[in-house]
Amino acid sequence: MDMTTVGLLYPGHSAEDDYPRIEVLLDSDIRLPVFHTDIGEDAHREDALIEMGAADRLAAGVEELRLAGAESVVWACTSGSFVRGRDGARSQVRELARAAGLPASSTSFAFVHAAEALGVSRVAVAATYPGEVTVLFEKFLEASGIEVVAARASGIVTAAEVGTWEREEVLELAAAGDDPRAEAVLMPDTALHTAAHLPELEADLGKPVLTANQVTVWEGLRLAGRRAWADGLGTLFARPGRAPEGGRTPPPGLLAE
């Protein structure tokens, strides 16, 4: 099988080391090159987030990703996409696709498509963000047909601080954000290290957990037309009919089409 390369545009430096970890767990011919976009002001605040995802900032990285052989490109930032609302996030992706000349998406849409692939319609949100930013993510999901039954906001203002969180804080956030009505828990910050903790998260909560860096890679593979399975990356990447580490057997047909 030919190599598949997913290009990732990542703002600043926080948890980008999740991507090489995911690449190793995929243990195949999938490559995940990362280009760091200019983060501007590091603040989970609406005006700063809108500027972070400006078209010129994203376009600055596309030539490098093309040279790396990218077959698709994903804006690896949740808040820097959903902050624009669903229509604005869709326009952002269209502009990125034109600039790159490649299929494009963002982490916000990755959450929606991953939830749809799992057959999930009711979710809980466990967010690092301040309350007003978390509400914007809830509205984005609701506009996409996903019911948010509970949401936890942690009040963290900067991606730099989120990037320092370790295992215990990640597990505590997921547990605090869960709700018995939710079919899955969503953790929407690409600055949060989660790739090493997915089996434990799903084992603790007894349901699928979708995290930002995980769904970003899955979305890029979906756009590239590549199916991928991996132990250690949760229900989203579990082989059909086989339970993920610490999780439940996934429903058939949940993987990227």
pLDDT 10s digits, 120-129 = 999 999 999 9
For residue 136, the model assigns a pLDDT of 97
- Domains by residue range for the chain, with CATH: 4-230 (3.40.50.12500)
At residue 133, the pLDDT reads 96
Tell me, what's the pLDDT at 246?
53
Give the residues of the chain that fall short of pLDDT 70.
1, 241-257
> pTM of the full predicted structure?
0.92
Instruction: Render pLDDT for 147-199 as a digit per residue (tens, 0 to 9).
Output: 999 999 999 989 999 999 999 999 999 999 999 999 999 999 999 999 999 99
Q: Give the per-residue pLDDT at 251.
A: 40
DSSP string, the chain: ---EEEEEEEESSSSTTHHHHHHHHHTSSEE--EEEEP--S---SHHHHHHHT-HHHHHTTHHHHHHTT-SEEEE--SHHHHTTHHHHHHHHHHHHHHHHTS-EEEHHHHHHHHHHHTT--EEEEEESS-HHHHHHHHHHHHHTT-EEEEEEE-----HHHHTT--HHHHHHHHHHH--TT-SEEEE--TTS--TTTHHHHHHHHTS-EEEHHHHHHHHHHHHTT-----TTS-GGGSPTTSPPTTSPPPPTT-S--
